[in-house]
Amino acid sequence: MMPKQDMIKNTKKLIVLALSVVFFMATKQPVLADCEPNYGGGETCVVNKRFEIKKEVRLEGEDTWKDKITDVKEGDVIEFRIKIKNLSDDEAEDFIDFDDMEMKDILPDELYRIGGDQLKEQFDNFKPGETEEFIIKVKVDEAEFDTTESFEKCVVNKAEIYWDDNFEGADTAIVCYGIGTPQELPKTGFGSTMTLIGIALIGTGLVLFKSKKLAR
């Protein structure tokens, strides 16, 4: 018969081995995380996601989609593209029902929809590996440009994905708009060059004048 102390030691070894197996099984699976920066710093991450959502923006007629566009003028048509991909393995379709999917686009008050897909779109039978794409067309509210002052303002547009009413992730795109352009530099040529030299000499004279006053 095994001594009592040896039995206790073997029992402890079995417990440690069992815990090690459980830990290995729990951590060997890849962990997917979707992180989004928070306003003011830091970020919020949603872990173990089954879906990927990406939101991009461009001016109508442009070829390239971006995370941010700038220098939008009154009347410009803005296009948002939302792409949602099912990241699940093919086998998941055998025991998981990928119905009741919903995309929600949250426009800031400064933008309004003029065409394309709806701000809320529902879809079913979303198979693993498949991608759904939505295009939403908007404009900046004309009231935003009702000023004589130069300005630039940026707003954030957010899209969210839900599965069976459960939040599954979000992504954002930024639109910057305004009025006013930088002042043109003087044209090249003798007259313009003399103007620049005159400005420089005036500035130098002011510096020298201030220096003499300080010396007194």
Give the largest Cα separation in the chain, rounded: 110
Q: Is the pLDDT of residue 205 over 60?
A: no
The answer as to whether 128 is a domain residue is yes
pLDDT of amino acid 191 = 44
Dist. CA 108–CA 175, nearest whole Å? 10
Q: Please identify which residue in the block is written with the tokens 């461009």.
A: 58
The encoded tokens of residue 169 equal 């992730």
Q: Which amino acid is at 21?
A: V
The answer as to whether 136 is a domain residue is yes
Closest CA relative to residue 163, chosen from 134, 118, 117, 128: 128
Per-residue pLDDT reduced to its tens digit, 16-54: 444 443 433 343 343 444 566 766 556 555 545 689 999
What is the domain extent for residue 135?
A: 51-179
Find the range with the poorest average confidence among 55-64, 107-116, 193-202. 193-202
Mean pLDDT, the chain, whole residue set: 76
Dist. CA 34–CA 59, nearest whole Å? 27
The answer as to whether 94 is a domain residue is yes
Per-residue pLDDT reduced to its tens digit, 77-124: 999 999 999 998 887 777 788 999 999 999 999 999 999 999 999 999
The answer as to whether 144 is a domain residue is yes
- Phi then psi for 143, rounded to 5 degrees? -60, -25
- CATH code (residue 91): 2.60.40.740
The DSSP string of 4-26 is: HHHHHHHHHHHHHHHHHHHHHHH
Dist. CA 167–CA 161, nearest whole Å? 6
The answer as to whether 30 is a domain residue is no
Structural domain total, the chain: 1
The answer as to whether 28 is a domain residue is no
Confidence of residue 5 (pLDDT cuts 50, 70, 90): low
Contact criterion met (CB below 8 Å) for 67 and 54 = no
The answer as to whether 212 is a domain residue is no
| pTM, entire model | 0.62
pLDDT of amino acid 51 = 92
Closest CA relative to residue 52, chosen from 66, 27, 29, 35: 35
Q: What percent of the chain shows pLDDT beyond 70?
A: 61
Per-residue pLDDT reduced to its tens digit, 126-160: 999 999 999 999 999 999 999 988 999 999 999 99
The answer as to whether 122 is a domain residue is yes
pLDDT of amino acid 52 = 93
Contact criterion met (CB below 8 Å) for 140 and 110 = yes
Confidence of residue 75 (pLDDT cuts 50, 70, 90): very high
Dist. CA 1–CA 7, nearest whole Å? 10
